[in-house]
Structure 1
Amino acid sequence: MASVKHTAIIDADPQTIWHVLRKFDSIAEWHTGVAHCTVEGGKSADIGGSIRKLTLADGGFVRQRLLSVDNDLMEFSYGHEESELCIIDFLAAVKVRPEGNGSRSTVTWQAHFDMIDQDGTYHSIVSAFIIEGQQSLASKLMASITITD
């Protein structure tokens, strides 16, 4: 099983970041790698079980199911229902934690998955998507960012 994990320190308070991230259907508003996002079946986007369909900036698509969301801990997890990528059993989690005196935040985004092809191409794609997401989030919040791993 492959794993990707990136942690970023963003110069914005955790509640501000969580307010953006917790809206499962709003990823296209801040992630530059996502052109469009819709939630299927009329479900609320903020409850477990909802499915979002992402149209990626490169024209591809991914359907993702929100598996869990915890507003108190400021974390959520999701998995792929359908994807054009040659990966299976994709599970990801995003966590927001206060950093220092609480005016900055640590955002950890990790994914675990199996690759159908073993050349590592999709490992790089997932890694780049996560880093681009963290950078896009900081840009939306007009905050500086440091990727720590």
Structure 2
Amino acid sequence: MPRAYASGVVPASADTVWSHIRDFNGLPSWLPAITASELTEGGSGAEVGAVRRLTLGDGGIVVERLLELNDAERRYTYEFVENPFGARRYVCTLRVAPVTAGGEAFVEWWSEFDADAADEKRLTDFFADGVYAGGIAALRDHFAAA
């Protein structure tokens, strides 16, 4: 089972970063690749079981279900319901932890999924470098400008 992973330091407190990314329906506010998000189940976006329908910049659609929301540990876990990438059994976690030495945040984002063997490396690189590292860089840029 492939594992895609990215991490980085964001120049804001863990609580500040968490409050910015916590909303399961809020990806378009901080992840450049997402142009729209609509909750199709779970009205507040903070309920386990909530389902969001994401529109990608190229018009593709991804549907995801929230599996866990843990404010104490500043993390949420979700799964693909539908995706255009060819990934199966995709489960993903986004977590924010404090960097105690400087008051910054350590953000890590990872997934495990199944895919055809010929697609594993391409998808691992796409998720890790394109989606997760790109999202963490966007957070870093957002808070550096603030």
TM-score past 0.5 threshold: yes
Q: Which runs of 5+ in 2 are unaligned?
A: none
Aligned to 1:134: 136
Q: Percent identity?
A: 24
More helix by share: 2
RMSD: 1.6
Query: SS in structure 1 opposite 2:41?
Result: helix
Where does 1:76-115 land on structure 2 (aligned, <5 Å)? 76-101=76-101, 103-115=103-115
Q: Which residue of the partner structure matches residue 5 of structure 2? A: 5
> What is the alpha-carbon distance in structure 2 between the residues aligned to residue 102 and residue 44 of structure 1?
33
What is the Cα deviation at residue 5 of structure 1? 1.1
Alignment of 1:1-149 (within 5 A): 1-41=1-41, 43-101=43-101, 103-116=103-116, 118-119=118-119, 120-127=121-128, 128-142=130-144
Aligned partners of 1:65 and 1:78 also within 8 Å: yes
State the distance in 2 between where 1:142 and 1:103 align: 13
TM-score by length of 1: 0.90
Matched residue of 1:25: which SS? coil
1-structure distance, mates of 2:137, 2:36: 18
SS in 1 for 2:25: coil
Distance 2:34 2:48 in 1: 21
Shift of 1:72: 1.0
Q: Which residue of 2 aligns with 1:147?
A: none
TM-superposed deviation, 1:7: 1.3
Q: Which runs of 5+ in 1 are unaligned?
A: 145-149
Q: How many residues align?
A: 144
How far off its partner does 1:16 sit?
A: 0.6
The 8 Å contact of residues 52 and 63 in structure 1, kept in 2 or not, is answered as yes
